[in-house]
Amino acid sequence: MQKLVRGIHQFQAEFFTSNRALFEKLAEGQRPETLFITCSDSRVIPELITSAAPGELFIIRNIGNIVPRDGEHYPGGAVAALEYAVEFLEVSTVIVCGHTGCGAMQAVLDPPAVARLPYVRHWLQQTDHLREVIERRYSHLQGEARVTAAVEENVLFQLESLRHYPFVTRRLADGRLRMAGWVFKIATGEVFAYDPAAESFTLLGGPA
């Protein structure tokens, strides 16, 4: 706790003081252009990865960066925040970002790992299909490579889940919204984006 308190003092003395005008403007309201859906993992920091300033990203975080397909069976913050970002804030971009070494995907591949965590187990039931996909398509992979395959497939599934909401599909259809799927590689700081033409994740900022 004391470390966090010291961090607050440092923020106020340094960053806030140097950007007072920005925060005064932000106090009037928010107009983020991007909804960033990612994992709760403490190693994934959207603003750091994207060099985004305060007010530029509206963020949804949960275990496994999941977009519930059934908003009634899995009610709560994820679906409400999605609706708010798209319908009220009118974001123009939605990014679903997974990451390497994801504990949620490890648990999907190895359900007994979360046997004593009933709420986590219930939440991850939304991704049970991934286990079958990985076994069918990636049986040749083991260890971290297998987890990364699950991370990538999960990002693609969540992009499809977004299309289950009429307020998303309407804006996609009329060109007011676009979506992207990313994977953040923690060890290298690289970000890979899904390329539909190549049907694979390619390095952002890398060679074409």
> How do residues 21-56 score in pLDDT, each as one tens digit?
999 999 999 999 999 999 999 999 999 999 999 999
Contact criterion met (CB below 8 Å) for 69 and 157: no
Amino acid 46: pLDDT:
98
Amino acid 76: pLDDT:
75
- Full DSSP string of 44-83: --HHHHHTPPTTSEEEEEETT----S-TTTS-SHHHHHHH
Per-residue pLDDT at 193 exceeds 90 = yes
In order of their start, the domains of the chain are: 1-29 (no CATH), 31-203 (3.40.1050.10)
Amino acid 206: pLDDT:
58
Integer CA distances (angstroms), 188 to 16, 59, 95, 97, in order: 30, 23, 20, 16
Q: pLDDT-derived band of residue 72, with 50, 70 and 90 as boundaries?
A: low
Active site residues: 39, 41, 43, 99, 102
What's the rounded Cα separation, in Å, for the pair 83 and 181?
A: 19
Amino acid 205: pLDDT:
76
pLDDT tens-digit series, residues 89-113:
999 999 999 999 999 999 999 999 9
User: Model pTM?
Assistant: 0.93
Q: Tell me what the mean pLDDT of segment 122-128 comes to.
A: 91
Q: Tell me what the mean pLDDT of segment 53-73 comes to.
A: 90
Q: pLDDT-derived band of residue 180, with 50, 70 and 90 as boundaries?
A: very high
